Amino acid sequence: MAYGTFDAVETVIIGIWFLIIGYFLLLFIYFLAFRYRDSKNPFHLGFGLFFLLLGVARGFFLIWDYYQLLPIWWQLATVVSWLGIFTLFLALTYQILERQFWQVMLISSPPLIIAIFIGILPSFFWPPSVAGYLTVGYIISNLAILPLYVIVLPSIFFYIGLQLRGQLRTSNFLLGTGFLIYYGGRVIQSSLAAYLNTIILYLGDILAPALVLFAMVLIAIGVLLEEHE
């Protein structure tokens, strides 16, 4: 694929990613304009900011993947993605630990630290497509710490769901499943798409946004169920 030049399949794939960005922004507006406005609960504010940051990061990744292969777009996308993970864990731990500020910050701080380091030392974290090899920072952030958070995040929702009944249990299970599938799609898009494309043309490029879109539907249903409980 020549950057900025797309065939029909690539155009559809890009359209799906734009649809996903729209989902992120709608969830941000929902949490900010409806949930946080009524509850004034920082948990709802953090959740909304998480979706906003994911949408912004996905926009940067879209430029990086399809329009301009400039390291600055990867750097911006990755920094904003880690900030999104930070805001979500900040909101979750704030809710679980009942506002114990220093404990909340201690548990939530690793994604923030990674975002800061990527912002000031980007070459230490370059992906293989830029550096030509696996950098130490990339191994630490993307192959070690990120998979840990990918496991922990859905596990928190599954754990909360087990403590509840009715629609709240279903809501948390849907959220946990949605985030698990979402990050599965992200792993495919960032690490496995090129390999899958060698098996069937466009397999990885189509599978990644399809999984992410399905995950967003599950997350949206989970959010709505939680509201109506």
pLDDT at 4 (0 to 100): 62
Q: 8-227 domain in CATH 2.40.50? A: no
The tens digit of pLDDT for each residue in 62-87 reads 998 888 888 899 899 999 999 999 99
pLDDT at 105 (0 to 100): 81
pTM, 2 dp: 0.89
How far is the CA of 116 from the CAs of 33, 62, 78, 82, 128, in angstroms?
A: 29, 22, 11, 9, 20
Label each residue of the chain as H, E or C: CCCCCCCHHHHHHHHHHHHHHHHHHHHHHHHHHHHHHHHCCHHHHHHHHHHHHHHHHHHHHHHHHHCCCCHHHHHHHHHHHHHHHHHHHHHHHHHHCCCCHHHHHHHHHHHHHHHHHHHHCHHHCCCHHHHCCCCHHHHHHHHHHHHHHHHHHHHHHHHHHHCCCHHHHHHHHHHHHHHHHHHHHHHHHHHHHHHHHHHCCCHHHHHHHHHHHHHHHHHHHHHHHHHCC
Spans of all domains in the chain = 8-227
pLDDT at 174 (0 to 100): 94
Asked if 45 and 18 count as a contact pair (C-beta separation under 8 A), the reply is no
pLDDT at 178 (0 to 100): 94
Mean pLDDT for each 10-residue chunk of the chain (229 residues)? 73 92 93 86 88 95 88 92 92 77 81 91 82 81 81 89 88 93 86 84 90 91 75
